Structure 1
Amino acid sequence: MKVIPAIDLLDGQVVRLHKGDYDQATIYNDNPVEEARKFKEAGFSHIHVIDLNGARQGEFMNLKHITAIIEETGLSVQTGGGVRSYEDADMLLKQGISKVICSSMAVRKPEDWLKLLDERGERAILGMDLKDGKVAYAGWEETSDDSLDTFLEPMLKRGLQNVLCTDISRDGTLGGPNIELYNSLRKQFPNLTFIASGGVGSYNDLLDLQKAGMPSVVVGRAYYEGKIGLEALAEFA
């Protein structure tokens, strides 16, 4: 299993939200490049960066910080937050970002999302954020009424490969990942590669995910709050 360290950016600062609540943001560093460099020096080659301003406002408020991370550290970056159209995704990929994570676009502009899958499928990640069993988008502030089958069927037909799945009820809580959810999704959609996100609070949580057969997991708050040291995290680099 591979760990993907997370950097969430809000107003140019490295933060974490509690259950997606923008009013419960904890600031960990006001220098994103400095934070990213720690992961580079620990042996990581790929990180996960989310523009929280973009997720809520639909504009890439933190793009300059993301490109600075790429240019100054050489890290490969998957990023999301504010990707509202095919043009947005195309622009990000041309900025040197390795993979784009799309959630709102898949709901609001499915034709753009399917075009991205057709043309850049290997560089497109569906951000499937679940809130009370429903797909959430727009910074987790709206939800879709479609079932997961209905939501994913057209994407599967167009070659969807990678899904970053976040259980919002676990995100930022350190209460443990929803392994039961991931096992159920992998059984229901065996052709998809799921990236776990949300709830990791200890080294044992990583071992549990590894034992469950998860290919990768995004880790944020557990690292920032010292629940998992960088050296232990790097074992999964």
Structure 2
Amino acid sequence: MILFPAIDLKDGQCVRLLRGEMAAATVFNDDPAAQARAFQVAGCEWLHLVDLNGAFAGTPVNGAAVEAILAAVDVPAQLGGGIRDMATIETWLDKGLARVILGTVAVEKPELVREAAAAFPGQVAVGIDARDGRVATKGWAEETDVKATELAQSFEDAGVAAIIYTDIERDGAMGGPNVAATAALARAVSIPVIASGGVSSLDDLRALRDCGAPLAGAISGRALYDGAIDLPEALRLLRD
């Protein structure tokens, strides 16, 4: 399993939200590029970036911060938030992103996911953010009747590189991930699944690692900034 440290960008700063509420943002670093370098120096193999403003606006907003991160590190990075057309996908991949994450459009324009995955093999992931098993879109501001598992299964033959599954109620709450739901999703599809939301301790990482489902990775943010997870120890745990 790969540990993906999260760098969530709001107004050019590195923040964490509580359950996706923009008004409940805590600033952890006003220099996202420096934060990215610190994660790389600590031994992280990937970075998980989110343009929070972009997720609400529907178009990239924190582009300068993302570009600064890409210039500052050598490890691959994936980005979600405000990526809703082919031109934006192409632009970000040209700028050096290893992978784009498509969330809202996976529900609203599934054909775009298929087109992008075919055009850029291995570089397109689907972000599935859910409350009580149902998908939320547009920065989690709008809820749908689409079931997370059914959405994931609909892309089985599309060639997407990964699914990032977030339990919104757990995100930023430091209460632990929804291991059962994440494992169930991973068992329901052959696409690699990355767990997100509530990963707040080494025990949480251990539970995901040992859940019996083939999880590809886990994303953690607040716990790394707060020191609740010792990053070097976490990396050793997942590598072992």
| TM-score > 0.5, shorter chain as reference | yes
Preserved CA contact (<8 Å) 1:85 1:109? no
1:207 maps to 206
Q: Residue 46 of structure 2 aligns to which amino acid in structure 1?
A: H
Q: Deviations over 1:94-146 (max 9, x none)?
A: 11100000101112222222201221231111000011211111000112223
Alignment of 1:177-188 (within 5 A): 177-188=177-188
Structure 1 distance, partners of 2:110, 2:207, is 35
Structure 2 distance, partners of 1:3, 1:93, is 22
Q: Residue 218 of structure 1 aligns to which amino acid in structure 2?
A: I
Structure 2 distance, partners of 1:110, 1:87, is 16
2:221 maps to 220
Q: Deviations over 1:142-163 (max 9, x none)?
A: 1222334543444223223410
Q: Residue 217 of structure 1 aligns to which amino acid in structure 2?
A: A
Alignment of 1:225-236 (within 5 A): 225-235=226-236, 236=238
Q: TM-score, normalised by structure 2?
A: 0.93
Structure 1 distance, partners of 2:6, 2:96, is 18
Unaligned runs of 5+ in 2: none
2:40 maps to 40
Preserved CA contact (<8 Å) 1:85 1:113? no
Q: Residue 2 of structure 1 aligns to which amino acid in structure 2?
A: I
Secondary structure (helix, strand or coil) at the match of 1:169 reads: helix
Secondary structure (helix, strand or coil) at the match of 2:77 reads: strand
2:14 maps to 14
Preserved CA contact (<8 Å) 1:46 1:76? yes
2:23 maps to 23
Unaligned runs of 5+ in 1: none
Q: Residue 165 of structure 2 aligns to which amino acid in structure 1?
A: C
| Count of aligned pairs between the two proteins | 236
Preserved CA contact (<8 Å) 2:149 2:185? no
Deviation at 1:229, TM superposition (A): 2.1
Alignment of 1:54-133 (within 5 A): 54-133=54-133
Preserved CA contact (<8 Å) 1:121 1:161? yes
Q: Residue 207 of structure 2 aligns to which amino acid in structure 1?
A: D
Structure 2 distance, partners of 1:106, 1:179, is 23
Q: Residue 86 of structure 2 aligns to which amino acid in structure 1?
A: Y
Preserved CA contact (<8 Å) 1:86 1:113? no
Q: CA RMSD in A?
A: 1.6
Alignment of 1:126-205 (within 5 A): 126-148=126-148, 150-189=150-189, 191-205=190-204
